[in-house]
Amino acid sequence: MAGQIIAPSPKHTHSRTQRRCTRFQRSHRRIQAVAADVESRADLYATIPEFELAELLGIVEPHILAASGTKWEYLYYSPRVSLEEHFDNGSYEFDMMLEHLPVNSAPNRSKELLDAFSAKEEKAEPPFKLLKPEERETIETALQAAEMENLQSNGMNCLAHVEVTSPSGESLRFEAVVEDDGQCETLRTPYDERDGRFVDLTECLLSYW
């Protein structure tokens, strides 16, 4: 369908660009046109405001998410954070971290590490380098899970994704940042996904709901 689209001049406003998209009377035709635009990087429709673009592609009332009837996929995400970052941020004291040592650790392992920390100068960083790789992995995993519980209880770090697909197979994804009232004020478009502006969920702990 890209051959049927005339590129707007720099003088065109987004409303004129929107009219070019709305000339395709069926939403699946619009999906095809925008998918071709995203892939080609022509970006003829990239200036259409994100909520308007979503509605043009068949997503009903994207501001209100669940109440709209659109089938969004919801998730909470908890990023992987190093022990050093946790300590620097004041999230956890060293002794709290050691509560999550592997269950098969030596009985005096926690005391050994705490003694090494106590021997350091005041305000010095804990002896993280003394942790074995498996100890660090276990503790970071446990803290990531604990952070997930905190995020869920406070309604933070929640995203919703939806995919629109044409009968011929073209698909486009949107990413919504879900506020604590369940609505969306920040919506990312297929252009954002292409350009790497979706939230990077690599190494994140995910909880779908």
Q: Which residue has the higher pLDDT, 135 or 5?
A: 135
d(CA 173, CA 166): 12
Q: What is the pLDDT of residue 3?
A: 33
In the chain, domain spans = 2-76+157-208, 80-154
Give the CB-side neighbour count of residue 5, counting CA atoms within 13 A. Answer: 26
Q: With bands split at pLDDT 50, 70 and 90, how would you rate the model's confidence at 192? A: very high
* 160 contacts: CB under 8 Å, gap ≥ 6: 65, 72, 73, 74, 75, 175, 176, 178, 184
pLDDT in tens, 71-105: 999 999 999 999 999 999 999 999 999 999 999 99
